[in-house]
Amino acid sequence: MDEAIQAFLDHLSVERALSAHTVAAYGRDLAQFSAFARKMGIFCAEDSWDSALVGYLEGLREAGMSPNSISRKLSAIRTFCKFACREGYVKQDFTANTTGMKGIKKLPSALTIDEVNRLLAVPDAKTPAGSRDKAMLETLYATGLRVSELMSLKILDVNLAVGFVRCFGKGSKERIVPIGKVAVDYLSLYLSNGRAKFAHAGSGDYLFLNHKGKGLSRVGFWKILKKYTRQAGITKNISPHSLRHSFATHLLAGGADLRAIQEMLGHADIATTQIYTHVSREKLKEVYKESHPRA
241 labelled catalytic: yes
Between the alpha carbon of residue 248 and those of residues 157, 158, 254, the distances in Å are 22, 21, 10
Catalytic residue, candidates 134, 244, 245, 250: 244
**Number of Cβ atoms within 10 Å of the Cβ of 189:** 17
Active-site residue flag, 146: yes
Select which of 170, 175, 214, 218 is catalytic: 170
Confirm whether 181 is a catalytic residue.
no
- DSSP letter at 172? G
Among candidate residues 166, 218, 267, 283, the one labeled active-site is 267
What CA–CA distances, in Å, run from 72 to 31, 39, 169?
14, 22, 20
Question: Which residue blocks in 13-109 are alpha helix, DSSP H?
Answer: 20-39, 50-62, 67-86
Q: Is 250 designated active site?
A: no
**Number of alpha carbons in the 13 Å side-chain half-sphere of residue 234:** 25
Q: Strand 164-168's sheet: what is its strand order?
A: 158-159, 164-168, 174-178
Q: Is 278 designated active site? A: no
**CA-to-CA distance for 211 and 231, rounded, in angstroms?**
21
Q: Which of 132, 134, 146, 250 is catalytic?
A: 146
Q: Enumerate the H helices of 122-201 as residue ranges.
A: 128-143, 147-152, 181-189, 195-198
Catalytic residue among 118, 214, 241, 283: 241
Question: Is residue 33 within 8 Å of 60, Cβ to Cβ?
Answer: no
Q: Is there a catalytic annotation at residue 283?
A: no
* Number of other residues whose CB lies within 10 A of the CB of residue 294: 3
**Catalytic positions, written as ranges:** 146, 170, 241, 244, 267, 276
